[in-house]
Amino acid sequence: MPIMDFLAQNARLHPDETALVEINPEKGHKTEKWTEFSLVETDPDKAYRREISWQDFDCRANRFANLLLAHGVKKGDKVAILLMNCLEWLPIYFGILRMGALAVPLNYRYTAEEIKYCLELSEASVLVFGPEFVERIDSIRDDLSNIRLQFYVGTKCPDYAMSYYKFILYCSSRNPNISLADDDFAAIYFSSGTTGFPKAILHKHRSLMHAAMVEQAHHGQKRGDCFLCIPPLYHTGAKMHWFGSLVSGTPAVLLRGVKPKWIMEAVSNENVTIVWLLVPWAQDILDAIERGEIKLKDYRLDQWRLMHIGAQPVPPSLIKRWKQYFPHHQYDTNYGLSESIGPGCVHLGVENIHKVGAIGKPGYGWQARIVDSKGSDVKRGEVGELIVKGPGVMTCYYRDEEATKDVLKDGWLYTGDMAMEDEDGFIYLVDRKKDVIITGGENIYPVQIEDFLRSCEWVKDVAVIGRAHKRLGEIVSAIIELKEDADCTEADIAEFCNALPRYKRPYEIIFDKVPRNPTGKIEKPKLREKYGALELVAQQIAK
């Protein structure tokens, strides 16, 4: 069963109910409701709130599918999406899937050269883009020989593109009924690029369907729920969590912004019951509460039942603080990769909050193992590489046979994450395989030091990297982003680190902003590039 069948089902069963709401907190207070009679050129950036029903969502998807077919796009072609989160995003995505093409979502932070690289690697022939990207597309459009169609979502359409709003007016809102099977290719996603240039990840329709089933099984979305979606839709994480709303036929809110006040207002005003946060956003909310900028009594929050976090290891200290202010919340975390169609191949479960810090056990329909360098299972309590297997594993890295062979072996996906399993079978992430620091012959796992430092009252965020050292091989360097009101020195941090074993204490401490990508992952390559060539401090901080 293709994932698009859920959309058609919701349009049939709940035609007039709200499917999607877009909130743009920086733009006035105008509210706009989409219908089949409002298919006109619009400017999303001028409306504070826009919404669309399930019936109109389905019709929009059909119209875009028929628009592509009318312009010669065929089943198996690739259609790239370069849009900020907006109400148009998902109807376009589903229109692509519905006519049998492959959706190719692109990271909105890509430079012009990265856009060009990904379009060429994926062999996309169609590009859908928004006003934020005109300058980047202008600079490379003469080099995009594979792109034969460009659709523009916004006002002031460039002369080389076709207006999405104008052209779908003339297309049928009926389902084109293209035959699709589980083994047909559905999408190409790109790796986050935290370990190098993005790889193209090819998935079949069965992967998308499995992601929806996993999300529904883990978080039990039901009638009356409403999901707040903040992370970017181009990434598997946000979209696959939203699939739970698709399966249950319940509304979701796309919030364009991450300020704590905006998040709390959206939860309160839109009757939100489920929120997926990244660690920095949860941290910001707690800090705002503790500074008095957020007063919980000012918001309607009783309906909020679940807060879950993903994309990175979660410090237990953060959840302990969260439960102090939101004691009735269920908490969950999900682990996954774009190669495993996003979150859920390992899953903690709301009933296991006593194991906070773990990523959990194999998720719905998944298997997981922890293995050594030869692929043999390690003993419980020992560190090895986490590998997973299930219906959501990618087909391959598109057009990269060697990279595929490195990570796909006998149906198992080698994640590159180092992990260990406790006596109860719960899996804990230790670190990325490539991020392990070897200092004086000892293996140091940065995540363990990062978790420790995040428990410090002055620390807002932290990243630990290895730096080359003539005698020790590598040293531990801690890049620390302090809270706004923090008043501390390197010596204060060094004293705090005395609670760590000597060999784990940071050799140097650097106060700086911690860069993260839109999915919340620390961009350690940027930090290594920034600090790798610097002269090391002469005196070791942790003696």
Q: What is the pLDDT of residue 283?
A: 85
Question: Between 233 and 430, whose confidence is greater?
Answer: 233
Q: Identify the band that residue 289 occupies on the pLDDT scale cut at 50, 70 and 90.
A: very high
Q: Is the pLDDT of residue 242 over 90?
A: yes
CA-derived radius of gyration, the chain: 24
Q: What is the pLDDT of residue 543?
A: 35
Query: 16, 13, 7, 18: which is closest to 270 by C-alpha?
Result: 18
Distance CA 116, CA 34 (A): 33
Contact 511, 480 (CB under 8 A): yes
The H-or-E segment that residue 163 falls in is strand 162-163
Q: What is the mean pLDDT of residues 451-469?
A: 86
Q: Is the pLDDT of residue 431 over 70?
A: no
Contacts of 494 (CB under 8 A, 6+ apart): 505, 506, 509, 541, 542
Q: Is the pLDDT of residue 46 over 70?
A: no
Distance CA 187, CA 477 (A): 39
Q: What is the pLDDT of residue 475?
A: 83
Q: Identify the band that residue 541 occupies on the pLDDT scale cut at 50, 70 and 90.
A: very low
pLDDT digits (tens, 9 = 90+) for 472-529: 667 889 999 998 888 889 999 999 998 887 778 898 899 999 988 766 678 877 887 7
Q: What percent of the chain has pLDDT over 90?
A: 66
Distance CA 272, CA 267 (A): 5
Crossing angle of helices 4-13 and 54-70, in 10° steps, is 130
Domains along the chain with CATH numbers: 4-229 (3.40.50.12780), 436-531 (3.30.300.30)
Contacts of 431 (CB under 8 A, 6+ apart): 417, 418, 445, 446, 447, 448
* This model's pTM is above 0.85: no
Q: What is the mean pLDDT of residues 383-401?
A: 95
The H-or-E segment that residue 283 falls in is helix 279-290
Q: Is the pLDDT of residue 58 over 70?
A: yes
Query: What's the mean pLDDT when you consider all of the chain?
Result: 88
